[in-house]
Structure formats: C-alpha cells, structure tokens
C-alpha cells in the first residue's frame, strides 16, 4: 500500500470508529449496561466476554488475588464490538468506589462518554468527578438514565438537576412513557408519532419484548401515561430542549436517553446514538500546537500501563490508543520520549486476561503492547514523521500515607519498587528533605491505589512496606515561596512536598478551614486547584 493509499484507508476506518467510556457511580448499572451493549451488538473479540461481578454471566477480568477476594476489577480493558456500519471501542473504567487515577486516564483515550445515572439517585459523587474530567478535556457526553423499571425520580426533575449542577443543557432524544417504576415504553423524540412499547415477560425473564404503536393506538391503550409523555414532550420542545449536534460536540448540551439496562430497554437506541451522534476520531492536538491528521503516518498515545496482568508471567502491558495512520504489528516504531525504536511484535487486544493478537489497528482502536517495559503513561509512539502529544494530566490526590520498608534490610528494593510504581503512575510519590527517601509520601485519588502498591511491593519487589495514613485530604499546587511559607507557619496545619513525577510543589491540608487560614496568613502565596480537586 502506498503512503497516500494507507492514509486514506486510515481515515476511512477512523470514520467507522466510536471510542467511548461509560462514566458512572458504582451500582448505577455500568456492568449491566456494558453486558447489554455487547450482547446487543456483535462482540468482535470472541474471547472478550464482559466482566461482571463474580458469579455473573461473563468472564471476570480479575488479575490479582486481591481483586478475586473482593470480587471487583481494578484493570481497565477494552471491549470492541460492531453495531451497524461502525466498530465501537468501549474502554472500561474501574467501577469500584475506591477508584483511582486510572479511571481518569482512560478518559484521555476516548472521544465520547456515556454518563450513566440511576433514576432513583440522580447525580452522585463519582459521576460528578468524572464529569469534571470530561468537561476539562472537552469530551462530549451522552446521558443514559437507567433503572426506569424501578421507582425513581421524575424525568423533568432529573433533567433540571443535570442543567443546574453541570451547566449542561439536557436534550432528550428518547422520553419515557410512564413514570419510573411504571415504564410502559419510550418515544423516540425524532419520530414522536409512534411509541415503542416494552413488555417484560413474567416469571423473571430479563429481556423485554418491543412492539411499535402509532400515536392513536398509544393514546387508546396507554391512556394517561401516553398523554403525560406527549405533554412533557411539548413542554420540552417549547423550551428548546432539542438535540443540536454542534452544541453537543462543543460540550454545551447532552442528548438524554432513558431505559433499563437489565431488561435491555433503550439499549438499542443508545447504540444507535453512539453510531449516529458520537464523534469519530479526529485529528489530535500536538504538544506545542498543531494537530496530527488521521491520514498522517502511524502515531499512538500510551494512556495506561498495567503490570502483572497475567500472574503466570510477570508482564507489563502498555495500552496504546491509535491516533493516526495504521498500526501494524511487527512494525518498528519510535518512542518520542527517547527517540529510540520500539518493536511491536507483541501487540494484543486485551480484555482482562483474555488476549488475542492484533495485526492491524486504526485510529480510535486500542492495542495492548505486552512486555513494553520501556513505555510510560503519556508516551507517544510514531512512525516516519515525529509526533508528541501533550502530557497526561495528573490528578489531585485526596489520600496520603507515609511508606516505609517493613524490613530495613530491603531498603534498596524498597526504593527501586517505589520508583517503578511512580513511573507507571500507580500512585503519586511525594518527597521532602525532612522526610528523606526512606519515608516517601504516597498520594492517591482512591485508597485502593495503596492496596495495589502494598501487594506489588511485597509480591514483585520482595519489599513489603508499612503504610501510615496522614491526616491530609486536600492538595493544592503552590510554588517554592508558598511551600516555604506553609512549612514555616505555626498556625496552619499542613505540609508542602515535592511530587517526584513533575517536581510540582504540592501543599497538603487536612481540611478547607486550614486552606483558608493559610490564605489569610499568607495572602500572596500561590495556591491553585489541581484537576479534579474539590
Ligand atoms: P455497576 O457496574 O455500575 O456497579 O452496577 P451493576 O451493573 O453491577 O448494577 C448494580 C445493581 O443494579 C445490580 O443489582 C444490577 O442488577 C442492578 N441494575 C442494573 N441495571 C438495572 C436496571 O435497569 N434496572 C434494575 N431494576 N436494576 C438494575 P444487584 O442486586 O446489586 O446485583 P445482582 O445481584 O443483580 O448482580
């Protein structure tokens, strides 16, 4: 294939790709929806069964003993499936409450997010945090309001909440006939003259059957419920809550869908929306300005590095999102950070422990590079013409603990292990002259990051550690003068440390009041919010 031919081929394959993640609070139904989406569409990776909680249909992607014991999943993986003319890449994000920076980083590799909301609970803490990251990265968001088969809040009230809290205009594309708990069917707002009616088979069977009714039939058979839905739709139209593709892509509006993932209600309409509304991969912004066109030679971004996914082999997988051109397994590419060649012989598609070789991949696809010890989160790989993508943002940690070697004779291994986990981005490592390098402070977004560190330090580096939680909860970026002021203040509880990864000065405080006291005492000191800080 000529370079010109392969560029056009890459662009036409990219146009068929939709790369997205589901963002939600635990228990909103992400596993259920993922399963329903993949079953509804055609899973391309035969081996890539959807992981659910243990005991559920689907294969668990657990990779560490710790995960098995808890029945949760720490790994992020990718599920690829086809719907209509498109190939959908669903990037999994850890769903557990103790989520970590990984969850955020996955959002650097998607073009769109599906925000899943529990109809009874509305917006919840993790939905808010993840939405903040989407907004910061300009990722368009499609909303799916789930569990409409159960009693919940009113549809209009949920829309109000989204608009008020996120300053994001909800534009319903489907609308429920029947309140939460009395779901009769859905109206596709684009063809309001018909109703899709769902009937759940008695006796506990999950999948609902769908039939189509004309408006006249719906008025006759569904009476008050249909009348209410029709009235609400009129209200919404009068209020201008109508899907506008440009406003959606600009992050000003969110198309809203209703359903019940557990009964497969509304899932096909969501899949159609991903094909029809979600953006395909586009040119990617480069560090220092300009963009990398889809037609350009191959380039990709490492958004996640995962060690020890296969307990039988101590390996390390770097997850790469293809950004331009065609990825061909076996080709030698260049690692931008070092300028050194990197061989792509062991390229896989990965879902938990299931792997299959990948020979080619197109923009939007994700490839797992096995044994990629040289690669780091944020690395760019390319062929021919150089490309460097902007660095991956680091996130505001909320939990802090001092790490010390449990066995002082293993100090060297301890230091090596901590340095490696820092490079991989498993936790953030903070240091200060006062504490010394035998007592670094580990900083995490979620406490499970500490468990992963403890397990890996003991298992992989034979350097078990002791962790001593610190009473801080807030981190702010400061400068050298601010750090000095904080460390010498006798009135404010707090501490300034240096983040090893980027040498940033972080000021840590136990609560907001201490932040305010510090601001009062040193009004000139710089204190900036970090991304995802609260
Ligand atoms: P998560 O990955 O976001 O944490 O959520 P998950 O899919 O595990 O769903 C959380 C609970 O909500 C599960 O019930 C699941 O069956 C239920 N659920 C998901 N979607 C729907 C829906 O559309 N309607 C209703 N009524 N329930 C839904 P569970 O009892 O906690 O687990 P399980 O025993 O069913 O596995």
C-alpha of residue 510 to centroid of ligand 1, in Å: 35
Tell me the CATH class for 399-529: alpha beta
Please tell me the predicted confidence (pLDDT) of residue 42. 63
Q: Which residue has the higher pLDDT, 438 or 8?
A: 8
Residue 277 CB neighbours (<10 A): 17
Locate the ligand 1 atom nearest the alpha carbon of residue 33 and give its number: 7
At residue 7, does pLDDT exceed 80?
yes
Locate the ligand 1 atom nearest the alpha carbon of residue 96 and give its number: 4
Tokens of 437: 């390098």
Locate the ligand 1 atom nearest the alpha carbon of residue 150 and give its number: 26
pLDDT band for position 4 (cuts 50, 70, 90): low
Minimum CA distance residue for ligand 1 atom 29: 27
The helix (run of H) or strand (run of E) holding residue 403 is: strand 399-405
Q: What whole-number percentage of the chain has pLDDT above 70?
A: 86
Please tell me the predicted confidence (pLDDT) of residue 243. 95
C-alpha of residue 32 to centroid of ligand 1, in Å: 6
Q: What whole-number percentage of the chain has pLDDT above 90?
A: 52
Contact, 107 vs 37, CB < 8 A? no
C-alpha of residue 257 to centroid of ligand 1, in Å: 18
- Average model confidence (pLDDT) across the chain: 85
C-alpha of residue 136 to centroid of ligand 1, in Å: 29
CATH architecture of 16-43+65-279: 3-Layer(aba) Sandwich (3.40)
Is-above-0.90 flag for pTM?
Answer: no
pLDDT band for position 69 (cuts 50, 70, 90): very low
Please tell me the predicted confidence (pLDDT) of residue 79. 83
At residue 344, does pLDDT exceed 60?
yes
At residue 202, does pLDDT exceed 70?
no
pLDDT tens-digit series, residues 500-523: 988 899 999 999 999 999 999 999
Contact, 196 vs 175, CB < 8 A? no
C-alpha of residue 147 to centroid of ligand 1, in Å: 8
Average the pLDDT over 284-298 and give the result: 94
At residue 75, does pLDDT exceed 50?
no
Q: Chain-centre distance of CA 325, in angstroms?
A: 24
pLDDT tens-digit series, residues 52-66: 343 333 333 333 444
Q: Which residue has the higher pLDDT, 80 or 246?
A: 246
Please tell me the predicted confidence (pLDDT) of residue 204. 47
Using CB distances shorter than 6 Å, the residues near ligand 1 are 24, 26-32, 53, 56, 95, 146-147, 149-150, 260-262
Pick the CATH number of 285-382 from 2.40.420.20, 2.40.30.10, 3.30.530.20, 1.10.357.10: 2.40.30.10
pLDDT band for position 312 (cuts 50, 70, 90): low
Average the pLDDT over 56-80 and give the result: 47
Q: Which residue has the higher pLDDT, 53 or 448?
A: 448
**In sequence order, which residues have a C-beta less than 8 Å from that of residue 427 and are 6 or more positions away?**
421, 442, 443, 444, 449, 450, 452, 453
Please tell me the predicted confidence (pLDDT) of residue 368. 86
**In sequence order, which residues have a C-beta less than 8 Å from that of residue 150 and are 6 or more positions away?**
119, 120, 180, 181, 260
The torsion angles phi and psi of 142, rounded to 5 degrees, stand at -100, 135
At residue 205, does pLDDT exceed 60?
no
**In sequence order, which residues have a C-beta less than 8 Å from that of residue 486 and are 6 or more positions away?**
478, 492, 494, 495, 496, 507, 518, 522, 525
Locate the ligand 1 atom nearest the alpha carbon of residue 263 and give its number: 23
pLDDT band for position 45 (cuts 50, 70, 90): very low
151 is in an annotated binding site: no
Top mutation candidate among 22, 29, 270 for ligand 1, by most atoms within 8 Å of CB: 29
Domain ranges of the chain: 16-43+65-279, 285-382, 399-529
Q: Which residues pair with 100 in a beta bridge?
A: none
Q: Chain-centre distance of CA 210, in angstroms?
A: 32
Top mutation candidate among 262, 264, 265, 267 for ligand 1, by most atoms within 8 Å of CB: 262
Average the pLDDT over 423-428 and give the result: 84
C-alpha of residue 108 to centroid of ligand 1, in Å: 27
96 is in an annotated binding site: yes
């Amino acid at each position: 294939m000529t370079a010109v031919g392969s560029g056009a081929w890459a662009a036409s394959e990219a146009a068929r790709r939709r790369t997205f993640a589901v963002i939600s609070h635990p228990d909103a139904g992400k596993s259920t929806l993922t399963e329903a989406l993949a079953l509804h569409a055609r899973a391309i990776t035969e081996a890539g069964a959807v992981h659910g909680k243990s005991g559920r249909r689907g294969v668990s992607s657990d990779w560490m003993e710790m995960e098995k014991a808890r029945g949760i999943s720490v790994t992020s993986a990718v599920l690829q499936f086809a719907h209509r003319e498109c190939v959908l890449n669903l990037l999994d994000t850890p769903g557990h409450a103790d989520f970590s920076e990984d969850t955020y980083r996955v959002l650097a590799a998607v073009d769109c997010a599906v925000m899943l909301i529990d109809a009874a609970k509305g917006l919840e803490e993790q939905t808010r945090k993840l939405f903040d990251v989407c907004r910061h990265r300009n990722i368009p968001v499609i909303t799916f309001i789930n569990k409409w088969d159960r009693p919940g809040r009113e549809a209009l009230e949920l829309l109000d909440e989204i608009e008020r809290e996120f300053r994001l205009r909800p534009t319903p594309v489907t609308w429920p006939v029947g309140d939460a708990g009395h779901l009769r069917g859905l109206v596709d707002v684009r063809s309001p003259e018909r109703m899709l009616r769902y009937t759940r088979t008695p006796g506990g069977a999950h999948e609902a059957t769908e039939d189509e009714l004309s408006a006249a039939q719906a008025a006759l058979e569904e009476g008050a419920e249909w009348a209410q839905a029709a009235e609400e739709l009129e209200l919404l139209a009068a209020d201008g809550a109508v899907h506008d593709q440009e406003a959606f892509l600009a992050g000003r509006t969110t198309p809203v869908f209703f359903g019940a993932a557990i009964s497969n209600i509304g899932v096909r309409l969501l899949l159609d929306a991903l094909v029809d509304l979600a953006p395909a991969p586009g040119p990617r912004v480069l560090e220092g300005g300009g963009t990398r066109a889809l037609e350009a030679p191959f380039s990709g971004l490492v958004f996640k590095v995962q060690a020890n996914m296969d307990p039988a082999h101590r390996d390390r997988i770097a997850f790469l999102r293809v950004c331009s051109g065609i990825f061909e397994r076996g080709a030698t590419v260049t690692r931008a950070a070092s300028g050194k060649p990197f061989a792509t012989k062991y390229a896989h598609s990965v879902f938990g422990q299931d792997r299959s070789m990948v020979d080619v991949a197109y923009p939007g696809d994700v490839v797992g590079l096995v044994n990629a010890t040289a690669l780091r989160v944020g690395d760019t790989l390319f062929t021919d013409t150089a490309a460097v993508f902007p660095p991956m943002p680091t996130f505001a940690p909320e939990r802090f603990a001092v790490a010390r070697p449990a066995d002082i004779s293993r100090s060297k291994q301890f230091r090596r292990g901590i340095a490696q986990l820092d490079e991989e981005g498993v936790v953030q490592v903070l240091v200060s002259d006062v504490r010394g390098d035998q007592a670094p402070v580990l900083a995490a977004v979620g406490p499970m990051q500490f468990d992963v560190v403890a397990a890996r330090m003991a298992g992989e580096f034979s350097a078990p550690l002791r962790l001593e939680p610190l009473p801080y909860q807030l981190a702010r970026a400061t400068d050298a003068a601010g750090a000095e002021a904080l460390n010498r203040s006798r009135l404010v509880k707090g501490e300034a440390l240096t983040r090893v990864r980027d040498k940033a000065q972080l000021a840590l405080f136990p609560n907001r009041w201490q932040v305010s006291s510090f601001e009062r005492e040193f009004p000139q000191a710089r204190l900036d919010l970090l991304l995802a800080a609260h």
